[in-house]
């Protein structure tokens, strides 16, 4: 439905067509399709190599000591500007689908357009490309480490990616590093992998046999459910699948494991958070509360305990056979545990009255909700910061020694199909001795859609530099964990902005009044993220009080008081299932006419 209103009829037609199917042949790496009750799982469908590793290398005139990477982006010529220094010493790159007119460096070899890829895969030490069923399947089947780059708007990607990583065969490369040639740390990491897929690879033969039997009357189909019943199941169970991460609704084991190991989403930890344990009490004592108090909030207790628990995991994944979700590994090395960490919490909000008229200066009533965002921030000298391998390699290539770096980890990324980490040199936010413009900052974060989420977090740094003249000479490490539902109209973005701004301000000794902080956060969303929102959401998150309605006028962002909620009244927000989003063009017209 997210495709847009004018595409809904097509989507419903596809759903209805699916409802008449009686049998699903399901491949590894599948997207869950809960409406199908008659399912036959078949192995990977892969092409078999015709030549051995040495045969291919001999044809290329290469010995077995040369490291080979296959550059494979789906056979789509892209005019890549490849450079010799992008490869480590002793490496060669075999390029698929390179244009005949494209000049390649001496350590890049153009492959014929009709090259049989499985043979080349057999000769290589790793592959660099985008995720697709064919590349993932053949990489797993032949135990070839796969350095992959995310694809935009590819719905199958999270399932293929999780399968690839579950079988220890994948390394994600940031798109920025792909385009700028920082390949070395990823290729070296790929060589250390030990892919462990041991399943079948004869899916084509299995599927052909099933179809042949069906054609001769020996059908696998069942008449237990009618077409309308399956259509109803597709809607109802598909909605449940969206609402219950980790629920057992035909979710493959390798995907359910990834979700269930995501033990840091506050909504999934309320029960455990209420359990008293020495570790929980120790965790809370280790943090000094600078403003506010716990209010008995189980999500804050859970976040603090999870944060303290990361210290224990710093080295444990090196000695454990348990497959670790990548964002936890990244977070475990994010902080220097002998230095201060500042934690802030900001809730989402429920629009109780008047929100649609906030742009015109109407009085509105907003209520903070239970779901909130937690952000942990650490300011640390560059020489003490633990850099991720690719960030360290980038810094070493520049040859300037330690300098301030921003590193961010976002928990819950696997449930939203966004990159779990983001890093950048803080110098990239400066133009000489002045911060870059908001326009330039927006373009910087928009380069990679899978990492655009970082603009909500790093945008706070840009705004503080621009509006308050703050300069950041130390490195900054940030951990974000939000339980506020995204795209549901309850201000998930405002919660992230307010929590981030509050934590960064605390870490740097800045005292910012709640109203002023909300206005700064609005600038993050308006000028860096590029979403034309008003200030109501940020005001509600920054100034609201628990179990009270915040009364305010949004022109010019003034709180008029709070309204106590009678004890016999409860407010509930019901998810309509329709994703909320800002339409920039429409909002721009409204803004122009109102202001």
Q: Is 276 in a helix, a strand, or coil? A: coil
Contact yes or no for 554/536 (Cβ under 8 A):
yes
DSSP 3-state of 164: helix
Residue 506 and residue 385 in contact, taking contact as beta carbons nearer than 8 Å: no
**Which secondary structure element, helix H or strand E, spans residue 410, and what is its range?**
strand 405-410
CA 476 to chain centre: 20
In the beta sheet, which residues pair with residue 70?
94, 127
Phi and psi torsions of 89, nearest 5°: -60, 135
DSSP for 28-84? TTPPP-TT--SEEE---B-PPPSS-HHHHHHHHT--TTSEEEEEESTT--------G
Cβ neighbors of 374 (< 8 A, separation 6 or more) are 266, 299, 300, 303, 343, 344, 345, 480, 481, 482, 499
Residue 255 near residue 157 (C-beta atoms within 8 A): no
For residue 468, the tally of other CB atoms under 10 A from its CB is 12
Which residue out of 119, 299, 423, 537 is catalytically annotated? 537
Helices (H), 142-295: 157-166, 175-180, 184-191, 203-215, 227-243, 253-260, 270-273, 278-285
Q: How far apart are CA 378 and CA 464, in angstroms?
A: 16
Pairing outcome for strands 558-564 and 405-410: unpaired
The greatest distance separating any two alpha carbons of the chain, rounded to the nearest whole angstrom, comes to 82
CA pseudo-torsion sign 528, 529, 530, 532: negative
The answer to whether 240 and 269 are in contact (CB under 8 A) is: no
Tokens 């892209």 sit on residue:
78
Could you tell me the sign of the dihedral formed by the alpha carbons of 326, 327, 328, 329, in that order? Answer: positive
Nearest to 494 by CA among 303, 374, 350, 349: 349
Collapsed DSSP state (helix, strand, coil) of residue 154: coil
Q: 414 near 254, Cβ under 8 Å?
A: no
Annotated catalytic residue 233: no
232: Cβ contacts below 8 Å, ≥ 6 apart: none
CA distance 497 to 525: 8
- Measuring CA to CA, which residue among 593, 366, 591, 364 is closest to residue 489? 366
Own/partner pairs, 586-589, CB within 8 angstroms, 24+ separation: 587/532, 587/533, 588/532
Which residues form the catalytic set?
Answer: 537
């Amino acid at each position: 439905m997210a495709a847009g209103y004018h595409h809904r009829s097509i989507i419903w037609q596809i759903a209805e067509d699916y409802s008449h199917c009686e049998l699903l042949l399901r491949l590894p790496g599948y997207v869950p399709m809960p409406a199908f009750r008659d399912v036959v799982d078949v192995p990977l469908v892969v092409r078999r190599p015709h030549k051995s590793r040495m045969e291919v290398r001999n044809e290329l005139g290469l010995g077995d000591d040369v490291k080979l990477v296959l550059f494979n982006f789906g056979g789509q010529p892209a005019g890549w500007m490849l450079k010799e220094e992008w490869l480590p010493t002793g490496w060669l790159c075999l390029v698929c689908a390179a244009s005949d007119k494209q000049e390649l460096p001496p350590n890049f070899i153009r492959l014929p357009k009709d090259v049989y890829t499985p043979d080349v895969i057999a000769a290589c030490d790793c592959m660099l490309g985008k995720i697709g069923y064919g590349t993932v399947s053949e990489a797993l089947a032949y135990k070839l480490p796969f350095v992959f780059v995310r694809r935009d708007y590819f719905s199958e990607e999270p399932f293929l990616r999780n399968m690839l990583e579950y079988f220890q065969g994948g390394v994600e490369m940031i798109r920025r590093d792909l385009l700028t040639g920082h390949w070395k740390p990823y290729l070296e990491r790929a060589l250390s992998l030990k892919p462990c897929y041991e399943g079948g690879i004869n899916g084509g033969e299995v599927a052909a046999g099933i179809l042949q039997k069906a054609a001769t009357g020996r059908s696998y189909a069942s008449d237990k459910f009618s077409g309308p019943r399956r259509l109803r199941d597709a809607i109802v169970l598909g909605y449940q699948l969206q609402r219950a991460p980790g629920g057992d609704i035909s979710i493959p084991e390798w995907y359910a494991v990834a979700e269930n190991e995501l033990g840091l989403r506050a909504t999934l930890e309320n029960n455990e958070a209420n359990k008293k344990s020495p570790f929980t009490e120790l965790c809370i004592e280790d943090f000094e509360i600078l403003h506010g108090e716990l209010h008995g909030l189980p999500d804050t207790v859970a976040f603090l305990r999870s944060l303290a628990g990361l210290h224990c995991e710093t080295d444990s994944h090196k000695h454990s056979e348990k497959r670790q979700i990548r964002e936890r590994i990244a977070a475990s090395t994010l902080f220097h545990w002998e230095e201060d960490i500042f934690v802030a919490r900001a809730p989402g909000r429920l629009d109780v009255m008047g929100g649609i008229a906030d742009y015109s200066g109407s009085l509105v009533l907003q209520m903070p909700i239970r779901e909130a965002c937690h952000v942990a921030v650490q300011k640390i000298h560059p020489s003490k910061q633990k850099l991720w391998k690719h960030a360290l390699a980038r810094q070493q290539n520049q040859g300037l020694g330690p300098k301030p770096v921003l590193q961010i980890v976002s928990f819950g990324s696997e449930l939203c199909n966004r990159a779990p980490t983001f890093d950048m040199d803080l110098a990239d936010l400066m133009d000489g001795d002045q911060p870059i413009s908001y326009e330039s900052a927006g373009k910087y974060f928009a380069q990679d859609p899978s990492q655009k989420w970082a603009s909500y977090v790093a945008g706070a740094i840009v705004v503080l530099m621009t509006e308050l003249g703050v300069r950041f000479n130390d490195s900054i490490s940030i951990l974000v964990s939000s339980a506020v539902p995204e795209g549901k109209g309850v201000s998930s973005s405002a919660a992230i902005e307010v929590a981030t701004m509050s934590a960064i301000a605390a870490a740097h000794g800045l005292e910012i009044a709640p109203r002023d902080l909300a206005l700064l956060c609005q600038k993050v969303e308006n000028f860096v993220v590029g979403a034309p929102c008003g200030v109501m959401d940020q005001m509600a998150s920054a100034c609201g009080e628990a179990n009270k309605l915040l009364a305010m006028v949004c022109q010019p962002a003034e709180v008029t008081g709070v309204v106590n909620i009678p004890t016999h009244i409860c407010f509930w927000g019901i998810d309509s299932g329709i994703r909320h989003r800002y339409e920039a063009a429409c909002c721009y017209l409204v803004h122009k006419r109102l202001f």
